[in-house]
Structure 1
Protein backbone atom coordinates (compact mmCIF):
# COMPACT_ATOMS: atom_id res chain seq x y z
CA UNK A 1 0.00 0.00 0.00
CA UNK A 2 1.39 3.37 -1.01
CA UNK A 3 1.86 6.22 1.49
CA UNK A 4 -0.95 8.13 -0.21
CA UNK A 5 -3.33 5.18 0.21
CA UNK A 6 -2.31 4.77 3.85
CA UNK A 7 -2.96 8.45 4.48
CA UNK A 8 -6.37 8.25 2.77
CA UNK A 9 -7.30 5.17 4.78
CA UNK A 10 -6.21 6.82 8.01
CA UNK A 11 -8.33 9.87 7.19
CA UNK A 12 -11.37 7.68 6.54
CA UNK A 13 -10.93 5.91 9.87
CA UNK A 14 -10.48 9.20 11.75
CA UNK A 15 -13.52 10.65 10.01
CA UNK A 16 -15.61 7.60 10.92
CA UNK A 17 -14.50 7.70 14.56
CA UNK A 18 -15.17 11.43 14.76
CA UNK A 19 -18.69 10.90 13.41
CA UNK A 20 -19.32 8.20 16.02
CA UNK A 21 -18.36 10.64 18.78
CA UNK A 22 -20.37 13.61 17.50
CA UNK A 23 -22.97 14.54 20.17
CA UNK A 24 -25.75 15.39 17.71
CA UNK A 25 -27.55 13.02 15.37
CA UNK A 26 -28.78 9.47 15.78
CA UNK A 27 -25.66 8.00 14.14
CA UNK A 28 -23.21 9.87 16.36
CA UNK A 29 -22.44 9.67 20.05
CA UNK A 30 -25.94 8.47 21.11
CA UNK A 31 -25.62 5.38 18.89
CA UNK A 32 -22.08 4.72 20.12
CA UNK A 33 -23.18 4.94 23.75
CA UNK A 34 -26.14 2.65 23.02
CA UNK A 35 -23.90 -0.01 21.47
CA UNK A 36 -21.49 0.21 24.39
CA UNK A 37 -24.35 -0.15 26.88
CA UNK A 38 -25.77 -3.16 25.04
CA UNK A 39 -22.36 -4.83 24.87
CA UNK A 40 -21.59 -4.14 28.54
CA UNK A 41 -25.01 -5.35 29.74
CA UNK A 42 -24.81 -8.48 27.58
CA UNK A 43 -21.33 -9.28 28.84
CA UNK A 44 -22.39 -8.70 32.45
CA UNK A 45 -25.44 -10.93 32.06
CA UNK A 46 -23.31 -13.71 30.61
CA UNK A 47 -20.83 -13.46 33.49
CA UNK A 48 -23.66 -13.54 36.04
CA UNK A 49 -25.24 -16.56 34.37
CA UNK A 50 -21.92 -18.43 34.51
CA UNK A 51 -21.51 -17.46 38.17
CA UNK A 52 -25.01 -18.72 38.97
CA UNK A 53 -24.48 -22.03 37.16
CA UNK A 54 -21.19 -22.64 38.94
CA UNK A 55 -22.23 -21.01 42.24
CA UNK A 56 -19.00 -19.04 42.49
CA UNK A 57 -17.86 -15.41 42.50
CA UNK A 58 -20.82 -13.09 43.13
CA UNK A 59 -23.38 -15.91 43.31
CA UNK A 60 -21.47 -17.45 46.20
CA UNK A 61 -22.48 -14.46 48.34
CA UNK A 62 -26.21 -14.70 47.57
CA UNK A 63 -27.05 -16.73 50.66
CA UNK A 64 -25.24 -14.26 52.90
CA UNK A 65 -27.05 -11.29 51.38
CA UNK A 66 -30.43 -12.98 51.85
CA UNK A 67 -29.58 -13.94 55.44
CA UNK A 68 -28.66 -10.34 56.22
CA UNK A 69 -31.98 -9.13 54.79
CA UNK A 70 -33.93 -11.69 56.83
CA UNK A 71 -32.14 -10.63 60.01
CA UNK A 72 -32.99 -6.96 59.47
CA UNK A 73 -36.65 -7.19 58.50
CA UNK A 74 -39.10 -4.87 60.25
CA UNK A 75 -42.88 -4.81 60.18
CA UNK A 76 -43.36 -1.38 58.62
CA UNK A 77 -40.72 -1.93 55.94
CA UNK A 78 -42.16 -5.33 55.03
CA UNK A 79 -45.61 -3.78 54.57
CA UNK A 80 -44.19 -0.96 52.45
CA UNK A 81 -42.13 -3.23 50.21
CA UNK A 82 -45.07 -5.55 49.58
CA UNK A 83 -46.64 -2.54 47.85
CA UNK A 84 -43.45 -1.34 46.17
CA UNK A 85 -42.74 -4.72 44.61
CA UNK A 86 -45.95 -4.49 42.56
CA UNK A 87 -44.45 -1.52 40.69
CA UNK A 88 -42.47 -4.09 38.71
CA UNK A 89 -45.43 -6.38 38.02
CA UNK A 90 -47.05 -7.16 34.69
CA UNK A 91 -50.19 -5.17 35.42
CA UNK A 92 -48.20 -2.06 36.26
CA UNK A 93 -46.22 -2.47 33.03
CA UNK A 94 -49.47 -2.61 31.06
CA UNK A 95 -50.70 0.51 32.85
CA UNK A 96 -47.50 2.34 31.91
CA UNK A 97 -47.96 1.31 28.27
CA UNK A 98 -51.35 3.03 28.33
CA UNK A 99 -49.97 6.09 30.13
CA UNK A 100 -47.16 6.47 27.59
CA UNK A 101 -49.49 6.05 24.61
CA UNK A 102 -52.08 8.53 25.89
CA UNK A 103 -49.88 11.07 27.62
CA UNK A 104 -46.51 11.20 25.84
CA UNK A 105 -46.85 9.61 22.39
CA UNK A 106 -43.99 9.68 19.88
CA UNK A 107 -44.71 12.15 17.06
CA UNK A 108 -48.35 12.25 18.11
CA UNK A 109 -48.85 8.55 17.30
CA UNK A 110 -50.52 6.84 20.23
CA UNK A 111 -50.75 3.44 18.55
CA UNK A 112 -47.09 3.49 17.54
CA UNK A 113 -46.02 4.45 21.04
CA UNK A 114 -48.20 1.74 22.58
CA UNK A 115 -46.76 -0.84 20.18
CA UNK A 116 -43.18 0.14 20.99
CA UNK A 117 -43.82 0.12 24.74
CA UNK A 118 -45.46 -3.28 24.37
CA UNK A 119 -42.43 -4.48 22.41
CA UNK A 120 -40.09 -3.33 25.17
CA UNK A 121 -42.08 -4.80 28.05
CA UNK A 122 -43.29 -7.91 26.20
CA UNK A 123 -39.84 -8.63 24.81
CA UNK A 124 -38.35 -8.26 28.27
CA UNK A 125 -40.85 -10.74 29.69
CA UNK A 126 -40.16 -13.25 26.92
CA UNK A 127 -36.39 -12.98 27.37
CA UNK A 128 -36.68 -13.33 31.15
CA UNK A 129 -38.76 -16.49 30.82
CA UNK A 130 -36.36 -17.90 28.25
CA UNK A 131 -33.32 -17.35 30.47
CA UNK A 132 -35.20 -18.73 33.49
CA UNK A 133 -35.79 -22.00 31.63
CA UNK A 134 -32.20 -22.08 30.45
CA UNK A 135 -30.63 -21.54 33.89
CA UNK A 136 -33.38 -23.29 35.93
CA UNK A 137 -32.25 -21.82 39.24
CA UNK A 138 -34.38 -22.56 42.33
CA UNK A 139 -35.71 -19.67 44.38
CA UNK A 140 -34.62 -19.03 47.97
CA UNK A 141 -35.92 -21.51 50.56
CA UNK A 142 -39.50 -21.08 51.77
CA UNK A 143 -38.73 -19.99 55.38
CA UNK A 144 -37.03 -16.91 53.95
CA UNK A 145 -39.83 -16.15 51.47
CA UNK A 146 -42.55 -13.84 52.80
CA UNK A 147 -44.26 -13.23 49.46
CA UNK A 148 -45.71 -15.59 46.88
CA UNK A 149 -43.68 -16.41 43.78
CA UNK A 150 -43.48 -19.30 41.36
CA UNK A 151 -41.15 -20.56 38.68
CA UNK A 152 -37.39 -20.32 38.49
CA UNK A 153 -35.37 -17.55 40.06
CA UNK A 154 -32.76 -16.18 37.62
CA UNK A 155 -33.23 -13.49 36.41
CA UNK A 156 -35.77 -11.45 38.37
CA UNK A 157 -38.79 -10.66 36.20
CA UNK A 158 -39.99 -7.79 38.40
CA UNK A 159 -36.56 -6.15 38.37
CA UNK A 160 -36.27 -6.53 34.60
CA UNK A 161 -39.76 -5.21 33.98
CA UNK A 162 -39.10 -2.19 36.18
CA UNK A 163 -36.05 -1.28 34.09
CA UNK A 164 -37.90 -1.78 30.81
CA UNK A 165 -41.05 0.12 31.76
CA UNK A 166 -39.69 3.03 33.79
CA UNK A 167 -36.58 3.62 31.67
CA UNK A 168 -38.82 3.73 28.58
CA UNK A 169 -41.13 6.17 30.32
CA UNK A 170 -38.17 8.40 31.23
CA UNK A 171 -36.91 8.21 27.64
CA UNK A 172 -40.29 9.29 26.25
CA UNK A 173 -40.58 12.13 28.77
CA UNK A 174 -37.13 13.34 27.78
CA UNK A 175 -38.07 13.33 24.11
CA UNK A 176 -41.36 15.10 24.74
CA UNK A 177 -39.88 17.76 27.03
CA UNK A 178 -36.18 18.09 26.09
CA UNK A 179 -35.31 20.28 29.06
CA UNK A 180 -32.32 19.20 31.21
CA UNK A 181 -34.23 19.57 34.48
CA UNK A 182 -37.12 17.45 33.19
CA UNK A 183 -34.82 14.77 31.80
CA UNK A 184 -32.76 14.54 34.98
CA UNK A 185 -35.91 14.34 37.12
CA UNK A 186 -37.44 11.67 34.90
CA UNK A 187 -34.35 9.49 34.90
CA UNK A 188 -33.73 9.99 38.62
CA UNK A 189 -37.31 8.96 39.38
CA UNK A 190 -37.06 5.93 37.11
CA UNK A 191 -33.76 4.91 38.73
CA UNK A 192 -35.23 5.20 42.22
CA UNK A 193 -38.21 3.00 41.35
CA UNK A 194 -35.95 0.41 39.71
CA UNK A 195 -33.71 0.24 42.78
CA UNK A 196 -36.67 -0.04 45.15
CA UNK A 197 -38.30 -2.82 43.14
CA UNK A 198 -35.05 -4.78 43.02
CA UNK A 199 -34.51 -4.28 46.74
CA UNK A 200 -38.06 -5.42 47.48
CA UNK A 201 -37.53 -8.71 45.61
CA UNK A 202 -34.42 -9.42 47.64
CA UNK A 203 -35.97 -8.27 50.93
CA UNK A 204 -39.11 -10.35 50.49
CA UNK A 205 -36.99 -13.43 49.91
CA UNK A 206 -38.31 -14.33 46.46
CA UNK A 207 -35.02 -13.69 44.64
CA UNK A 208 -31.28 -13.83 45.17
CA UNK A 209 -29.11 -10.73 44.71
CA UNK A 210 -27.72 -12.03 41.41
CA UNK A 211 -31.28 -12.59 40.16
CA UNK A 212 -31.99 -8.89 40.61
CA UNK A 213 -28.74 -7.84 38.96
CA UNK A 214 -29.39 -10.23 36.09
CA UNK A 215 -32.85 -8.78 35.56
CA UNK A 216 -31.40 -5.28 35.46
CA UNK A 217 -28.78 -6.20 32.86
CA UNK A 218 -31.10 -8.17 30.61
CA UNK A 219 -33.70 -5.40 30.50
CA UNK A 220 -31.06 -2.71 30.04
CA UNK A 221 -29.68 -4.48 26.96
CA UNK A 222 -33.08 -5.13 25.38
CA UNK A 223 -34.57 -1.72 26.17
CA UNK A 224 -31.53 0.12 24.88
CA UNK A 225 -31.59 -1.94 21.68
CA UNK A 226 -35.26 -1.20 21.00
CA UNK A 227 -35.03 2.54 21.54
CA UNK A 228 -31.75 2.79 19.62
CA UNK A 229 -33.48 1.08 16.69
CA UNK A 230 -36.37 3.55 16.96
CA UNK A 231 -33.94 6.46 16.95
CA UNK A 232 -32.16 5.07 13.89
CA UNK A 233 -35.40 4.41 12.03
CA UNK A 234 -36.71 7.87 12.83
CA UNK A 235 -33.48 9.50 11.70
CA UNK A 236 -33.29 7.43 8.50
CA UNK A 237 -36.92 8.16 7.66
CA UNK A 238 -36.42 11.87 8.23
CA UNK A 239 -33.28 11.94 6.09
CA UNK A 240 -35.01 10.07 3.26
CA UNK A 241 -37.97 12.46 3.41
CA UNK A 242 -35.65 15.48 3.21
CA UNK A 243 -33.83 14.03 0.21
CA UNK A 244 -37.14 13.38 -1.53
CA UNK A 245 -38.32 16.92 -0.83
CA UNK A 246 -35.07 18.34 -2.20
CA UNK A 247 -35.37 16.23 -5.32
CA UNK A 248 -38.94 17.36 -5.88
CA UNK A 249 -37.99 20.99 -5.45
CA UNK A 250 -35.33 20.83 -8.17
CA UNK A 251 -36.46 22.21 -11.60
Structure 2
Protein backbone atom coordinates (compact mmCIF):
# COMPACT_ATOMS: atom_id res chain seq x y z
CA UNK A 1 0.00 0.00 0.00
CA UNK A 2 2.95 2.31 0.68
CA UNK A 3 4.04 1.97 -2.94
CA UNK A 4 0.55 3.01 -4.01
CA UNK A 5 0.66 6.13 -1.86
CA UNK A 6 4.07 7.07 -3.24
CA UNK A 7 2.83 6.53 -6.80
CA UNK A 8 -0.31 8.57 -6.14
CA UNK A 9 1.68 11.43 -4.59
CA UNK A 10 4.17 11.46 -7.46
CA UNK A 11 1.30 11.40 -9.94
CA UNK A 12 -0.18 14.52 -8.35
CA UNK A 13 3.18 16.29 -8.59
CA UNK A 14 3.51 15.39 -12.29
CA UNK A 15 -0.10 16.43 -12.88
CA UNK A 16 0.49 19.87 -11.37
CA UNK A 17 3.70 20.28 -13.35
CA UNK A 18 1.97 19.32 -16.60
CA UNK A 19 -1.03 21.55 -15.93
CA UNK A 20 1.23 24.53 -15.19
CA UNK A 21 3.33 23.93 -18.32
CA UNK A 22 6.56 23.30 -16.43
CA UNK A 23 7.29 20.09 -18.33
CA UNK A 24 6.57 21.30 -21.86
CA UNK A 25 10.14 22.12 -22.92
CA UNK A 26 11.41 18.84 -21.46
CA UNK A 27 8.62 16.93 -23.19
CA UNK A 28 9.42 18.59 -26.50
CA UNK A 29 13.10 17.63 -26.28
CA UNK A 30 12.14 14.05 -25.43
CA UNK A 31 9.71 13.92 -28.38
CA UNK A 32 12.45 15.15 -30.75
CA UNK A 33 14.78 12.49 -29.42
CA UNK A 34 12.34 9.60 -29.83
CA UNK A 35 11.22 10.70 -33.30
CA UNK A 36 13.76 13.09 -34.85
CA UNK A 37 12.35 15.49 -37.46
CA UNK A 38 8.97 13.74 -37.06
CA UNK A 39 10.13 10.98 -39.44
CA UNK A 40 8.44 7.58 -39.67
CA UNK A 41 11.31 5.14 -39.71
CA UNK A 42 11.94 1.45 -39.08
CA UNK A 43 11.35 1.77 -35.31
CA UNK A 44 7.99 3.43 -35.84
CA UNK A 45 6.98 0.79 -38.39
CA UNK A 46 7.88 -1.95 -35.91
CA UNK A 47 6.16 -0.45 -32.86
CA UNK A 48 3.25 1.38 -34.48
CA UNK A 49 0.87 -1.62 -34.65
CA UNK A 50 1.25 -2.17 -30.89
CA UNK A 51 -0.85 0.93 -30.20
CA UNK A 52 -3.90 -0.41 -32.04
CA UNK A 53 -3.29 -4.03 -31.15
CA UNK A 54 -3.26 -3.37 -27.39
CA UNK A 55 -5.71 -0.47 -27.26
CA UNK A 56 -7.75 0.14 -24.07
CA UNK A 57 -10.95 -1.48 -25.36
CA UNK A 58 -9.14 -4.75 -25.99
CA UNK A 59 -7.48 -4.58 -22.59
CA UNK A 60 -10.83 -4.22 -20.83
CA UNK A 61 -12.32 -7.00 -22.96
CA UNK A 62 -9.48 -9.26 -21.81
CA UNK A 63 -10.19 -8.37 -18.19
CA UNK A 64 -13.89 -9.10 -18.70
CA UNK A 65 -13.26 -12.45 -20.36
CA UNK A 66 -10.94 -13.59 -17.58
CA UNK A 67 -13.53 -12.50 -15.00
CA UNK A 68 -16.25 -14.51 -16.76
CA UNK A 69 -14.05 -17.63 -16.87
CA UNK A 70 -13.25 -17.27 -13.17
CA UNK A 71 -16.92 -16.77 -12.32
CA UNK A 72 -17.76 -20.04 -14.04
CA UNK A 73 -14.85 -21.98 -12.53
CA UNK A 74 -15.36 -20.69 -8.99
CA UNK A 75 -19.14 -20.48 -9.20
CA UNK A 76 -19.12 -16.99 -7.77
CA UNK A 77 -19.98 -13.51 -9.02
CA UNK A 78 -17.13 -11.97 -7.05
CA UNK A 79 -14.59 -11.94 -9.92
CA UNK A 80 -17.12 -10.06 -12.05
CA UNK A 81 -17.76 -7.49 -9.32
CA UNK A 82 -14.05 -7.08 -8.76
CA UNK A 83 -13.34 -6.65 -12.48
CA UNK A 84 -16.21 -4.16 -12.83
CA UNK A 85 -14.90 -2.13 -9.89
CA UNK A 86 -11.39 -2.10 -11.34
CA UNK A 87 -12.53 -1.13 -14.83
CA UNK A 88 -14.84 1.62 -13.56
CA UNK A 89 -12.20 3.10 -11.26
CA UNK A 90 -9.43 3.08 -13.87
CA UNK A 91 -11.59 4.48 -16.68
CA UNK A 92 -13.18 7.07 -14.41
CA UNK A 93 -9.87 8.30 -12.99
CA UNK A 94 -8.22 8.44 -16.42
CA UNK A 95 -11.05 10.35 -18.10
CA UNK A 96 -11.41 12.75 -15.17
CA UNK A 97 -7.73 13.73 -15.30
CA UNK A 98 -7.78 13.99 -19.10
CA UNK A 99 -10.72 16.39 -18.96
CA UNK A 100 -9.03 18.36 -16.17
CA UNK A 101 -5.76 18.84 -18.06
CA UNK A 102 -7.25 19.03 -21.60
CA UNK A 103 -3.71 18.68 -22.92
CA UNK A 104 -2.94 18.57 -26.67
CA UNK A 105 -0.84 15.66 -27.91
CA UNK A 106 2.55 16.19 -29.66
CA UNK A 107 0.76 16.86 -32.96
CA UNK A 108 -1.20 19.72 -31.39
CA UNK A 109 -4.57 17.92 -31.36
CA UNK A 110 -6.69 17.38 -28.26
CA UNK A 111 -7.81 13.71 -28.24
CA UNK A 112 -11.54 13.02 -28.18
CA UNK A 113 -11.09 11.34 -24.78
CA UNK A 114 -10.51 14.78 -23.24
CA UNK A 115 -6.74 15.21 -23.43
CA UNK A 116 -3.36 13.58 -23.78
CA UNK A 117 -2.46 13.31 -20.08
CA UNK A 118 -2.30 10.63 -18.77
CA UNK A 119 -1.90 7.95 -21.42
CA UNK A 120 -5.06 5.86 -21.38
CA UNK A 121 -3.29 3.11 -23.30
CA UNK A 122 -0.70 2.70 -20.55
CA UNK A 123 -3.27 2.89 -17.73
CA UNK A 124 -5.68 0.39 -19.28
CA UNK A 125 -3.08 -2.17 -20.32
CA UNK A 126 -1.18 -2.01 -17.03
CA UNK A 127 -4.28 -2.18 -14.84
CA UNK A 128 -6.02 -4.95 -16.77
CA UNK A 129 -2.98 -7.23 -16.92
CA UNK A 130 -2.20 -6.61 -13.26
CA UNK A 131 -5.71 -7.49 -12.18
CA UNK A 132 -5.74 -10.63 -14.26
CA UNK A 133 -2.75 -11.66 -12.14
CA UNK A 134 -4.43 -10.54 -8.92
CA UNK A 135 -7.56 -12.53 -9.70
CA UNK A 136 -5.79 -15.68 -10.89
CA UNK A 137 -3.14 -16.01 -8.19
CA UNK A 138 -3.74 -15.73 -4.48
CA UNK A 139 -0.08 -14.88 -3.91
CA UNK A 140 1.67 -13.16 -6.76
CA UNK A 141 5.40 -13.68 -7.26
CA UNK A 142 8.00 -11.30 -8.57
CA UNK A 143 8.10 -13.03 -11.94
CA UNK A 144 4.33 -12.49 -12.35
CA UNK A 145 4.97 -8.75 -12.22
CA UNK A 146 7.91 -9.00 -14.62
CA UNK A 147 5.60 -10.64 -17.15
CA UNK A 148 2.82 -8.12 -16.47
CA UNK A 149 5.17 -5.16 -16.96
CA UNK A 150 6.49 -6.20 -20.38
CA UNK A 151 3.43 -5.32 -22.55
CA UNK A 152 2.96 -1.86 -20.93
CA UNK A 153 6.67 -1.16 -21.41
CA UNK A 154 6.38 -2.03 -25.10
CA UNK A 155 3.24 0.12 -25.31
CA UNK A 156 5.06 3.06 -23.71
CA UNK A 157 7.88 2.75 -26.23
CA UNK A 158 5.41 2.56 -29.12
CA UNK A 159 3.59 5.69 -27.96
CA UNK A 160 6.82 7.66 -27.58
CA UNK A 161 8.49 6.54 -30.79
CA UNK A 162 5.25 7.13 -32.71
CA UNK A 163 4.96 10.62 -31.21
CA UNK A 164 1.44 9.78 -30.03
CA UNK A 165 2.07 10.92 -26.43
CA UNK A 166 4.40 13.14 -24.47
CA UNK A 167 6.90 11.49 -22.13
CA UNK A 168 5.06 12.83 -19.07
CA UNK A 169 1.80 11.39 -20.45
CA UNK A 170 3.35 7.94 -20.36
CA UNK A 171 4.93 8.57 -16.95
CA UNK A 172 1.61 9.81 -15.59
CA UNK A 173 -0.18 6.77 -16.96
CA UNK A 174 2.30 4.41 -15.30
CA UNK A 175 2.05 6.21 -11.95
CA UNK A 176 -1.76 6.26 -12.02
CA UNK A 177 -1.81 2.56 -12.91
CA UNK A 178 0.48 1.65 -10.01
CA UNK A 179 -1.67 3.65 -7.59
CA UNK A 180 -4.84 1.93 -8.83
CA UNK A 181 -3.26 -1.52 -8.71
CA UNK A 182 -2.01 -1.08 -5.14
CA UNK A 183 -5.38 0.30 -4.05
CA UNK A 184 -7.43 -2.56 -5.49
CA UNK A 185 -4.92 -5.20 -4.39
CA UNK A 186 -5.51 -4.11 -0.78
CA UNK A 187 -9.31 -4.42 -0.99
CA UNK A 188 -10.95 -7.23 1.04
CA UNK A 189 -12.85 -8.18 -2.13
CA UNK A 190 -9.61 -9.37 -3.69
CA UNK A 191 -9.14 -11.91 -0.89
CA UNK A 192 -12.70 -13.12 -1.36
CA UNK A 193 -12.10 -13.50 -5.10
CA UNK A 194 -8.99 -15.64 -4.73
CA UNK A 195 -9.76 -17.80 -1.69
CA UNK A 196 -10.68 -21.43 -2.46
CA UNK A 197 -14.18 -22.79 -2.03
CA UNK A 198 -15.76 -26.14 -1.25
CA UNK A 199 -18.57 -27.24 -3.58
CA UNK A 200 -21.91 -27.56 -1.82
CA UNK A 201 -20.72 -25.94 1.39
CA UNK A 202 -23.17 -23.12 1.87
CA UNK A 203 -24.17 -20.84 4.65
CA UNK A 204 -27.05 -18.42 4.30
CA UNK A 205 -27.15 -19.19 0.61
CA UNK A 206 -23.48 -18.38 0.00
CA UNK A 207 -20.54 -20.78 -0.39
CA UNK A 208 -18.01 -20.56 2.38
CA UNK A 209 -14.29 -20.47 1.87
CA UNK A 210 -11.99 -23.22 2.96
CA UNK A 211 -10.09 -20.63 4.97
CA UNK A 212 -13.16 -20.07 7.12
CA UNK A 213 -13.39 -23.77 8.01
CA UNK A 214 -12.47 -24.73 11.56
CA UNK A 215 -11.05 -28.15 12.42
Q: Same fold (TM over 0.5)?
A: yes
Bigger proportion of residues as strand: 2
Return the index of the structure with the highest Cα Rg.
1
**2:26 is aligned with 1:61:** yes
**2:90 is aligned with 1:124:** yes
> Structure 1 residues 101, 200: closer, same or farther in 2, change over 3 A?
same
1:167 to 120, 130, 133: 130
List per-residue Cα deviations over 1:162-195 (Å, max 9, x = no partner). 11111112223332xx5x8xx4443212101111
Q: What SS does the aligned partner of 1:85 have?
A: helix
**2:99 is aligned with 1:136:** no
> Structure 1 residues 60, 173: closer, same or farther in 2, change over 3 A?
farther
TM-score, normalisation: structure 2: 0.77
Bigger proportion of residues as helix: 1
For structure 2, the residue ranges without an aligned partner over 5 or more in a row are 196-207
> Structure 1 residues 169, 106: closer, same or farther in 2, change over 3 A?
farther
**2:175 is aligned with 1:217:** yes
> Structure 1 residues 81, 68: closer, same or farther in 2, change over 3 A?
same
RMSD: 3.1
Residue 159 of structure 2 corresponds to 201
For structure 1, the residue ranges without an aligned partner over 5 or more in a row are 1-34, 247-251
Residue 152 of structure 1 corresponds to 115
> Structure 1 residues 109, 187: closer, same or farther in 2, change over 3 A?
farther
> Structure 1 residues 105, 40: closer, same or farther in 2, change over 3 A?
farther
2:45 to 52, 55, 79: 79
Residue 18 of structure 2 corresponds to 52
> Structure 1 residues 86, 184: closer, same or farther in 2, change over 3 A?
farther
**2:57 is aligned with 1:99:** no
